[in-house]
Each structure stands twice: as C-alpha cells, then as structure tokens.
Amino acid sequence: MSFSEQNDRPAAPAILVGVDLGLPHFDAELEELGLLSQTAGLEPVARVVCKRKAPDAALFIGKGKADEIKQLADATGAAEILFDQALSPAQQRNLERHLDRPVNDRTLLILEIFAQRARSHEGKLQVELARLRYVSTRLVRRWSHLERQAGGAGVRGGPGEKQIELDRRMISEAIKRTRERLEKVKRQRQTQRRRRERQGAFNISLVGYTNAGKSTLFNALVKAGAYAADQLFATLDTTTRQLYLGEAGRSVSLSDTVGFIRDLPHGLVDAFQATLQEAVDADLLLHVVDAANPNHPEQLAEVQRVLHEIGAAEVPQVLVFNKVDLLDPSLRPRFETDRFELEGVQVPRVFVSGRTGLGLDALRRLLAQEVSRRSGPVAAAAQADSGSDAEGNDSAA
C-alpha cells in the first residue's frame, strides 16, 4: 500500500488479525479494522481471531498461529497483514520476517489514512508531524520518505540500520521544522478565530465518531458541499460556514471537523491539536452519534474520552442521534427530542436523519433555543450584520 498512489491500483489483498487479550473493546468481527483497511485501499481477504492471556514478546501471537497465518497468506495471495492491536517495533519486525510480507497495526493504518486524506496545508503538516513521531519511536527502519517531499511517500523501505544515528538526527530536525511551520498556521487560525469573536459569532462545532454523519448533517444544515463518504476519516480539515437560525433571529458559525475513533494514535491527537482546538473553543458542541450502529454507546463514550483529553469536556453539548432512517420502524423514537444523561448531566437530544432531512427542523429549533439561552443580547446585535460571510479554512497557506 502506498500513501499517494492508492487510487491508481486495485486494492491489495490483506489479512486481518485480532488478538483477544480479554480487554473490553475486543472486536471479534474485526469490522472497524476491515473498514479502516478498505479506506486505506486494501481488500480484506481473510480474518483471523485468536485468544491469548498476554502477547508473546517476540511475535505478539504464538508461533503456531503465525505459521497458520503464513499459510493462509500464501494461499490467498495476501500482500499485507494487519493487526487490530498495537505491535511493538520488535514484534512488528519479527512478524514481518516470519510472515515474509509487510505487517502493520491499527495505528499505522490510521496514520496512512490521515496521510491520504489530508488536503490542506495544515492537515498535511499535522499528519507529517504525527508520522514523524511514530517513526521516531520505531527504531527508524523506514525513513526514506524524509528525503523526499514532506507529506508524500510511505514509510516503507530504507537503507538499513547502520544509518540509525543519522536517521535519528534527520527525524528530530524534521519534527522541529514541521512544528515550527504548524505554529505559524496555528497563529493564523487564532487570528481568524479572534475575528469571529470580535464579530460576536456564536461558534458551534460538530463532533462525533468517524462516519457518524457529521459532514452530511453539516451539508444539510448549511447547504454546503463538504465531502461526505462511507469511509473513515472522510473529513480531516475544518470547514466553517454561517448558519442562519430563524427562530433566534441570528446566524451562528458552524464547523465540520475531523472524526474520532477508538485508540486514536496519541501522536495524532497531539498533532491535530490545532484542528481539535475548534471543539475546545466552541460555544456549543453538536455531538453526532450514528444511532444505527450497534456499537454507538461505545463510540459515544470514546468521543467523550477524547473531549476530556483535549480539554473540551466542559463545552455544553446537544446530542444528535443520526441515521434514524436506518432503524427498524419498531425501534424508532416516538419523540423528536428528549433529554439524555451524559456523565451525570442532562443534555438535550434530538433524533434526525441527515440523509432524509427527518428531524432537522426540530434540530434547528433546539439550536435556536440553546443559542438564545447561551448568548447575550450584545452578541446577538453584533451578529445581525455579519450576514452569510462564509469562511473555509481549507487552504490556509
């Protein structure tokens, strides 16, 4: 799999491996890993699940299991093996030798998807920083991309371990350079935000698990053309548009942004600080939940966890249970809105379908109420003349 040319080639066959270590989040169907691998341009051809008390230090799985996977890989022509659990650098290396093909884990897969998806200058810098950090913890076997243009190539190949010291220095220099460039972008973003604040804008941010339907909802609310797709991490860059709320007699700024996922690589959370800051600084969060996904309670909890981690746990929320059109009619809610207890706080909840438009009027009414309740008359007056000035951050240079 390559970072940049994935669309030009047929999907490479891959085997998915999940190791049940008795942890609560174990996904026996490897469904999310399958979606991640498809998003990254791979085609899952087989799934292997096994149980262990603890990971094997050298191979993560037992040798017998590894032999079994090797046979399966040879039989199916799999080009790559993907683990749902995080591998240590040594385990990854040993497995690659044993299985005779690239072995990757969920973290790297997420990094690769982010690298493929990043479009804006800021997004690319953030991904590059996260990837450099990942590479710097991995004994630097794969670093040749550093010589090429930032944001371009994969982390495969490389001239060997003699160069480790040199590699280390190159990586830490590259990290430093990337961070400086990101700082500059951050300052520009702050200036934009301060301008919105001066205009008395009320800022609403869409947050939620990846694929929950944030961009679809964003488009339905503001009639914009944000990219929505049945892929994980379709959106990486923040887009902001004005949304007029008739009931409140004013407009607000609505931002669509990156989705969250279980075990989001830590380096990514760090690197995406500037993008995630949008949520921290919001006056209100629209927390979008895919109500049709059987795992939505875990996904909601994961989003809450990330919100705590980035310091956005105190921002008031409205819960939007989306995709109700997919629910069995007998399971559809009988009310448009109710209250939901979230970490001991009663928050308003609304049931919608971003696709069919069901419940969107109720959502607009609810937003108008929240905005009127949470913003003073001064802000509302200052807002009156800001009209429909649209602001996209897609091309921050």
* Residue ranges binding ligand GTP (CB under 6 A): 208, 210-216, 228-235, 259, 322-323, 325-326, 353-355
**What are the residues whose beta carbons fall under 8 Å from the beta carbon of 154, sequence distance 6 or more?**
1, 2, 3, 112, 142, 145
Name the closest residue to ligand GTP (Cβ).
259
State the Cα–Cα distance between residues 62 and 81, nearest whole angstrom: 15
For the chain, where are the alpha helices, taking DSSP H only? 31-39, 63-76, 89-99, 106-117, 121-136, 164-198, 214-222, 266-271, 273-280, 296-309, 360-374, 377-383
- CB 332 → ligand GTP: shortest distance, Å? 12
**178 lines the binding site for Mg ion (CB under 5 A):** no
**393 lines the binding site for Mg ion (CB under 5 A):** no
- Pick between residue 117 and residue 349 the one whose CB is nearest to Mg ion: 117
- CB 224 → ligand GTP: shortest distance, Å? 12
- CB 372 → ligand GTP: shortest distance, Å? 27
- CB 67 → Mg ion: shortest distance, Å? 41
> Residue from 234, 261, 268, 282 that binds Mg ion (CB under 5 A)?
234
348 binds, among ligand GTP, Mg ion, none (CB under 5 to 8 A by kind): none
Name the closest residue to Mg ion (Cβ).
235
- Pick between residue 123 and residue 208 the one whose CB is nearest to ligand GTP: 208
Over 281-347, what HEC string results? CCCEEEEEEECCCCCHHHHHHHHHHHHHHCCCCCCCEEEEEECHHHCCHHHCCCCCEEEEEECCEEE
299 binds, among Mg ion, ligand GTP, none (CB under 5 to 8 A by kind): none
Q: DSSP string covering 39-87, please?
A: HTTEEEEEEEEEE-SS-BTTTBS-HHHHHHHHHHHHHHT-SEEEESSPP
**235 lines the binding site for Mg ion (CB under 5 A):** yes
255 binds, among Mg ion, ligand GTP, none (CB under 5 to 8 A by kind): none
Q: Are 47 and 79 in contact (CB under 8 A)?
A: no
**91 lines the binding site for Mg ion (CB under 5 A):** no
Element spanning 251, H or E:
strand 250-256
**210 lines the binding site for Mg ion (CB under 5 A):** no
Size of the site for Mg ion (CB under 5 A): 4
Binding site for Mg ion (CB under 5 A): 214-215, 234-235
